Amino acid sequence: MGTVTIMDHPLIQHKISLIRNKKTGTRDFRAIISEIAMLECYESTRDLVLEDVDIETPICKTTGKRLAGKKLAIIPILRAGLGMVEGLEKLIPSAKVGHIGMYRDPATLKPVEYYCKLPADIDKRDVFVVDPMCATGGSAIDAINALKEHGCNNIRFLCIIAAPEGLKALQEAHPDVDIIVGALDEKLNDHGYIVPGLGDAGDRIFGTK
Ligand code: PRP
Ligand code: URA
């Protein structure tokens, strides 16, 4: 059974308040999204497996720990997920990056996939799917369906703000997936936006509105 972690760390709560503020401009918004993603990555990599490594310090020989060489992949859901990639790459620089393009049909709120390019050996990698927003959960559910069709069986989903409806739908659709959420908000409004949320994450990251 996958775990759900709602991040209660003061730094994350502080940073999420900054990006909720409509006065926060593109440059700061982008930088803070990346910082939150890095903190979520730190939390979600707690269970990575270590192995012993012999080291010689300037003082003596010792045995240290290193990551046991697990292959990782970061999969942003375009567009807004792109804003989280840099933060994860800082902590796991050898991860490969694949892309899944999805947009929500504004009338039906259903996700439409328009792009998918994944590392060739994606089925052998532990996967971090990233998207700042989980509203109805449809985009995350479909992106994870696509990854499972490509043979992935170890998937985590990192988002910054989730609505209760989306989190529930995602858990029901993919009970095996570990989910990391920066903040769990109140609800969705009639247009499928998260309340209080932060508006349209893609537009705010890329300055398109
Ligand atoms: C946003 C967001 C998620 C999706 C969440 O993307 O980045 O991908 O909506 O909504 P859901 O949980 O109801 O599927 P959007 O469709 O606005 O595309 P964009 O990232 O290109 O702006
Ligand atoms: N997508 C966003 O970018 N924001 C929301 O509140 C919901 C979906």
- Burial class (CB within 10 angstroms; exposed 0-12, middle 13-18, buried 19+) of 4: middle
- Burial class (CB within 10 angstroms; exposed 0-12, middle 13-18, buried 19+) of 49: exposed
Please give the pLDDT value at position 76: 98
Please give the pLDDT value at position 70: 81
Q: Find the 80 Cα to ligand 2 centroid distance in Å.
A: 9
* Residue 182 pLDDT class (50, 70, 90 cuts): very high
Please give the pLDDT value at position 69: 80
Tell me the best of 131, 158, 189 to mutate to test the pocket of ligand 1, counting ligand atoms within 8 Å of each CB and taking the most.
131
pTM of the shown model: 0.96
For residue range 83-106, what is the model confidence (pLDDT) as tens digits?
Answer: 999 999 999 999 999 999 999 998
For residue range 110-156, what is the model confidence (pLDDT) as tens digits?
Answer: 999 999 999 999 999 999 999 999 999 999 999 999 999 999 999 99
Q: Could you give the CA distance from residue 132 to residue 144 in angstroms, rounded to a whole number?
A: 15
Q: Find the 102 Cα to ligand 1 centroid distance in Å.
A: 7
